[in-house]
Structure 1
Amino acid sequence: MTIDRAAVASLVARPALQRLLAVLDGGGETTWIVGGAVRDVLIGRPVSDVDCATTATPEETMRRAAEAGFRVVPTGIDHGTVTVIVEGTPFEVTSLREDVETDGRRAKVAFGRDFAADARRRDFTMNALYADRTGQVHDFVGGLADLAARHVRFIGDPGQRIAEDYLRILRFFRFHAAYGSGDIDAAGFTAAVRARAGLDLLSHERLRTEIAKLLGAARALETCRIMIDAGLLQRTFAGVTHDMRLARLIAWEAACGRRPDPVLRLAALGTDIPEDAARLRDRLRLSNVETRRIHAFAALVERLNGSAGPWSLRDLRALALSFAPEIVAAAFAAAAPLADIDARGRDFLAAVARGEAIAPVFPLSGEEVVAAGVPKGPRVGAVLAAARERWLDEDCPADAAALKRILQQAVAAGRAG
C-alpha cells in the first residue's frame, strides 16, 4: 500500500511521544511505535493509545523514565510491559520478547533485541507494523499488503498462534468485523473452528471485552452470522443466538443515525426470555446496569412475541412508564413489524430514536391518593393504578384540573368497587 508518511510523521511528532522517544530511543537501545497506532494512522483512523516496543529491558525502561521525571507504573512487568506517563498521556512500553512457554491463556516470555522476532510472535500481520522516530514504517510479516487489502491474517501458522492464546479466536473475528473487507481468511477461520474448545478456558472478563468490541464493529452482523454458522457464538454465550433480531436492530440504528449500542445488540442477539439476562451476566461478567437493560429488552420482546398487536401510542407510553424509552424503541425495532404499530406509535418511536421523546412521568402519587380520602393500605395502590390507566387514556395530560378530575374519578370508582 502507499504509505501516508505525512500521517505517520504527525503521529510521531506528538510532543509527549517525542519526549518519551528522546529518553528511550538511543544510548544503545531502540524504541519504536508498534501495533494499533501504526495500523490506524495508516488507514486514516483516529489514534488514541500509542504503544511502543523497545530493545531495553523493563528495568532499563523504568530507570530511564524515572530519571526523566516521568511517572512509571509496572502494569505488566512479568511480560515486559510498563506504562510510562508523559504530560498526562500514558504509553505502554514493552520489551521485545519471544514466547518460551504457553498454555493458551498465559505465556512465559524471554526478552530479546530482534524486532523481526518480536513481530513473528504477534497475532495478525496488520498488528505487527512498527514506526521509528523518523516516521519510517517497518514491516517484517507482510502487514502493509494485508492492511491495504483489509485482510485479517494470522502471522505464521494460525493454529499455533491460537494455541498460544485462545482469546485470539474471538480477536480474529472481531478484527475481521472492524477492519476486514471481503471474505474472511480461510486458514484463520478453519483454525479457529478447530480450536473452539479453547474458548471454555478463557476468563469471563476477556470474553466480555472482545464480544463488546465485536458487536460495536462495522461488520458485526456479517461476522456474527459467520460465527453462528460455525457454532462459535452459541458456545461463547452458552445459549441462543438470533441474528435476524440483531439485523433489524442494526438497521434501525442506521436509519436513525444512532451509534452502535453493544449492550442492546447483545440483548437482541443472545436472549429469548428475560432469564437469559442472568446467563449472559454470568457468562460475560456484565455489570448490574448492563444486565438490567438486557433483562428489560428481553422482557419486552417476550411480550411482543405473545401479542398480535396492533400497538398504539397509548400502549407505547404505558411501556415507557416501566422501561426506558430507548429500550422500548429498540425492542420494537428488533421484534415488532411496523405494520403492528399505529401511525402515532411509529412517530413516538422515531422521536425516541432521535432523542426527542421523553418518557411520560405519571404525576400522581400515593400521598395524593391518601389526601383524597383513601385510607392507607392496598387500596391506595389500586386507586393509583386506576388513575394511571385513565391518565394514559386521556393522552397523559399535565394540567392540574385534569389531574384532579382523574384522581377523583379513580377514587370514586374504587369506592364503588
Structure 2
Amino acid sequence: MTEAEQVTPAGQARLAEFLARPGVAQVLALLNGAGEEARVVGGAVRNLLLGEPASDIDLATTALPTETMRRAKAAGFKAIPTGIEHGTVTLAADGESFEVTTLRRDVETDGRHATVAFGRDFSEDALRRDFTVNALGLDSEGRVHDYCGGLADLVARRIRFIGDAAERIREDYLRILRFFRFHARYGAGSLDEAGLKACIAGRAGLDGLSRERVRAELLKLLVAPGAVQAVEAMAGGGLLMPVLGGVPYLSRFAAVAGGKGGEQVYPAFRLAALAVAAKEDALRLRERLRLSNEEFDRIERIAGALEGLSGRGEIPGVAALRHLAHRLGADAVAGGLVLLAAGSDGMSTQQAIAELGRTPAFLPSGRDVMKRGIPAGPDIGRVLESARHGWVEAGCPAGEAEQIGFIEKAIAVLPR
C-alpha cells in the first residue's frame, strides 16, 4: 500500500487545508526551487493526520543555513539563527514562525548529544529520528513520505522506535522518557515490547541526562491522557525511582490521574500526587528535577497540607481547614484533601473543599488597625492575626462591619 493510500480522505483534506495556509505556502515556496527542496516534518505532520492542531511547524531542507537565511530575507521573512551551528534557522512573518533545519546525518553520539553533518537525503534524515510516527514528511504537493512504517503505526496508535530500539536509546537516553511520554499522549493498548525491553536495559543512562531535560519530559508525561499506564510500566521496569529519587505513590497517582472525577491537570499537582508525602519530598524533587520556583512553591505547600492533615483519622472541621488554608493557601489544602482521599469515594472531601471555596475574603488591613490607634510596628501583625483567628472560629462572616469587630476585639486584649 502506498503512502497516499494509507492517508484517509479526511487526512488528505486536513493536509491540503494546512498547505493552503498563506504562511505555510509562502515558506515552502521560498525554500523550494533552484535545486533545493523543503518538506514539513515531524510533529506537525503527525498531528495533522490525527486531526489535532499543528502548532509547532518544523521543516527540513536540502539548503544550507546560509542559503535558507538568504532566501528568507529576500522574501520578506525575518530570519533568526536560533541554532545555526546545528543547521536550524527560525523564519517569522505575520505572526507565524517556522523552524527550518538543514537535512542532517549523525556523525557521533554520546547518549546525550549528537555531532551531525549536513546532508541532502530526506530518508537518511528521517531515519535518525526517534519514533516512526515522528519521521513522516509532507511536501508542497501534499504527498506524505514514510520511510519506516510510521503511517501504519499512527493508525494503530503504536509508538515504536525506528530501527533498533537499543541503538536509538544509546544515541540519546532521554528517548527512554520520550517513549513513555509519547505512548501516554498518542498510544493505545500495550507498550511496544521491543521498545519497553530496550528502555529497561538502558535505564542506567538516565543518570547522565541533564535534570532540566528530565523534568521537562516527566511533567509532560504526567499530564498526558495515558499517564497512569505509562507511569505504572515505568515503575514495573525499575525506571521511575531513578527519576524521582524516591518511592512513588502509584495508587494515589492512578486515583488522581485516572479520570475518576475532580481531576486536576496541573503538572506540579500530578507530580505531588506521584511523589510527595512530606516537605522533604518536595525539597528532594526540587534538587533532583530542577523545579521552577513556582512548581516548588506549589508542591511544597501541598506537602505542608498533607503533613497538617495526616494522622487525624478524619477530615478536620472547616475552621481548622481555614486556619491551615490561611497559612498554606486554599489551593494547597484542597490539593492535600484530594490526595488524602484518592481511592475513596471522596464525598466528605468534596464537602470540605466546597466549604473552603465558600470562604469569603477577610477585608481588614493594617490601615484599619492603625486608624484605631495602633502605631506601625509588630503589633499591627499581631492584631490582624488574632482578628483573623477569631473570624475563622466564628464561621467567617462576610460583612465588613462584622470583620472590623474582630479587629476591635483583638485590640482590646492586646498587651500594653
Change (3 A) 1:93 1:408: closer
Paired position in structure 2 for 1:209: 216
Cα RMSD between the aligned structures?
A: 2.6
Which amino acid is the alignment partner of residue 403 of structure 2? L
Change (3 A) 1:339 1:246: closer
The 8 Å contact of residues 338 and 346 in structure 1, kept in 2 or not, is answered as no
Change (3 A) 1:377 1:180: same
Moved more, 61-70 or 116-125: 61-70
Paired position in structure 2 for 1:346: 350
- With normalisation by structure 2, the TM-score equals 0.90
Paired position in structure 2 for 1:83: 90
Paired position in structure 1 for 2:118: 111
Q: Offset of 1:309 from its aligned partner?
A: 2.4
- Secondary structure at the counterpart of residue 59 of structure 1: helix
Q: Offset of 1:109 from its aligned partner?
A: 1.1
CA distance in 2, matches of 1:375, 1:26: 78
1:139 lines up with 2:146 in the alignment: yes
- Secondary structure at the counterpart of residue 92 of structure 1: strand
Change (3 A) 1:265 1:337: closer
- Secondary structure at the counterpart of residue 275 of structure 1: helix
Q: Offset of 1:402 from its aligned partner?
A: 2.4
Which amino acid is the alignment partner of residue 394 of structure 1? A
CA distance in 2, matches of 1:205, 1:155: 25
- Secondary structure at the counterpart of residue 255 of structure 1: coil
CA distance in 2, matches of 1:217, 1:92: 25
Q: Which runs of 5+ in 1 are unaligned?
A: none
Q: Offset of 1:117 from its aligned partner?
A: 1.3
1:100 lines up with 2:107 in the alignment: yes
- Secondary structure at the counterpart of residue 111 of structure 2: coil
- Secondary structure at the counterpart of residue 261 of structure 2: helix
Paired position in structure 2 for 1:169: 176
**Deviation digits for residues 92-147 of structure 1 (CA, Å, limit 9, x no counterpart):** 11111110111111111122222111111110000001111111111110000101
The 8 Å contact of residues 318 and 355 in structure 2, kept in 1 or not, is answered as no
Counterpart among 48, 51, 61 of residue 44 in structure 1: 51
CA distance in 2, matches of 1:341, 1:215: 22
Paired position in structure 1 for 2:255: 248
- With normalisation by structure 1, the TM-score equals 0.90
Moved more, 290-299 or 77-86: 77-86
CA distance in 2, matches of 1:341, 1:367: 42
Matches within 5 A, 1:204-243: 204-243=211-250
Which amino acid is the alignment partner of residue 398 of structure 1? A
Change (3 A) 1:134 1:377: closer
CA distance in 1, matches of 2:364, 2:122: 69
Q: Offset of 1:337 from its aligned partner?
A: 6.6
Q: Which runs of 5+ in 2 are unaligned?
A: 1-5
The 8 Å contact of residues 126 and 146 in structure 1, kept in 2 or not, is answered as yes
The 8 Å contact of residues 23 and 64 in structure 1, kept in 2 or not, is answered as yes
Which amino acid is the alignment partner of residue 386 of structure 2? A
Counterpart among 63, 72, 80 of residue 73 in structure 1: 80
Paired position in structure 2 for 1:397: 397
CA distance in 2, matches of 1:225, 1:310: 29
Matches within 5 A, 1:5-404: 5-250=12-257, 255-256=261-262, 260-336=265-341, 346-347=350-351, 349-350=353-354, 357=357, 360-365=360-365, 368-369=368-369, 381-404=381-404
**Deviation digits for residues 177-235 of structure 1 (CA, Å, limit 9, x no counterpart):** 10110001111111111111111111122112111211121111221111122221211
- Secondary structure at the counterpart of residue 388 of structure 2: helix
CA distance in 2, matches of 1:342, 1:14: 50
Which amino acid is the alignment partner of residue 159 of structure 1? A
The 8 Å contact of residues 69 and 79 in structure 2, kept in 1 or not, is answered as yes
Q: How high is the sequence identity, in percent, across the aligned residues?
A: 48
The 8 Å contact of residues 138 and 144 in structure 2, kept in 1 or not, is answered as yes
The 8 Å contact of residues 312 and 342 in structure 1, kept in 2 or not, is answered as no
Which amino acid is the alignment partner of residue 243 of structure 1? L
- Secondary structure at the counterpart of residue 221 of structure 2: helix
CA distance in 2, matches of 1:116, 1:365: 67
CA distance in 2, matches of 1:39, 1:377: 62
